Structure 1
Amino acid sequence: MISKGRRTLRSLAVALAAAASFTIGVPGGNAFAIDHVQCVGGENFLKIWSHLDGRQSVDCYANAGKTGFGGWWVDRISTGNNDLIYYDANGDSVKIERWHDITFPNYPPKVVSIQIL
């Protein structure tokens, strides 16, 4: 017959082993949760001015992650406190560091997705 103390110790060991195997078996990685947010003056969001088929848009984003941008032509990007990579329709990726404001007056890129780092 096993004593109560040994049973408790054995149960604790089994629980720790299960927790360790779960920790090792489940991949870590980053949780990406880019958000399309309301543009608010004074905030340091990523802000993108764009156009497509006669429509114009100004969109703001927060938090790290990647999202589709729909192939809109980008006229201006203000990165705020975000490092950005945009992926264009030609297959290129362009990184823009935080605190930059860039305009594309003559040849705007057609952006298929954006990623905040």
Structure 2
Amino acid sequence: MISKSLKAGCSMAVALAAAAALTVSAPSSAYAIDHVACDGNRNDLLKIHSHLDGRDSVDCYANAGTTDFGGWWVDEISTGNNDLVYSDANGDSVRVNRWTDITYPNRPPKVTRIQIL
């Protein structure tokens, strides 16, 4: 005769195995935005021209996801085939649609976070 504690242990093991199988097979909702090299021949990437403390930067991104942008002042954005939402230091979120080019010559936003949708 099998004891109640052994039955409970077997039931627990089966439940844990089922949970582990579902965890491995379930699709993930996590996204990974990629900071990529800016290739002059590509126009599909998100491309951001920015400056901070006397330094200029041009950064390109691909794939859906969110990343910290460090509070750099953004001078120009070219979205390529990406829908973008950026957050500025004032707490505002601004959506910029794909295939849009924007320049900020006088009052650039201080961007803290970017998200490719």
Q: TM-score range by the shorter chain?
A: 0.7 to 0.9
Which residue matches 1:4?
none
Instruction: Provide Cα deviations, 1:31-60, integer angstroms capped at 9, x if missing partner.
Output: 311010000023210000000011000000
Q: Structure 1 regions of 5+ residues with no counterpart? A: 1-14
Which residue matches 2:107?
107
1:34 and 2:33 aligned = yes
Which residue matches 2:11?
none
TM-score calculated relative to the size of structure 1: 0.77
Distance in 2, matches of 1:27 and 1:111, equals: 34
Which residue matches 1:73?
73
Instruction: Provide Cα deviations, 1:89-113, integer angstroms capped at 9, x if missing partner.
Output: 0000000000000001111000001
Which residue matches 2:51?
51
TM-score calculated relative to the size of structure 2: 0.77
One-letter code aligned to 1:84: L
One-letter code aligned to 1:69: F
The 1:27/1:94 distance shift into structure 2, 3 A limit, reads farther
Distance in 2, matches of 1:68 and 1:53, equals: 18
- Where 1:41 maps in the other structure, the secondary structure is coil
Distance in 1, matches of 2:52 and 2:19, equals: 51
The 1:27/1:89 distance shift into structure 2, 3 A limit, reads farther
Root-mean-square deviation (CA, aligned residues, Å) is 2.6
Which residue matches 2:3?
none
Distance in 2, matches of 1:76 and 1:21, equals: 46
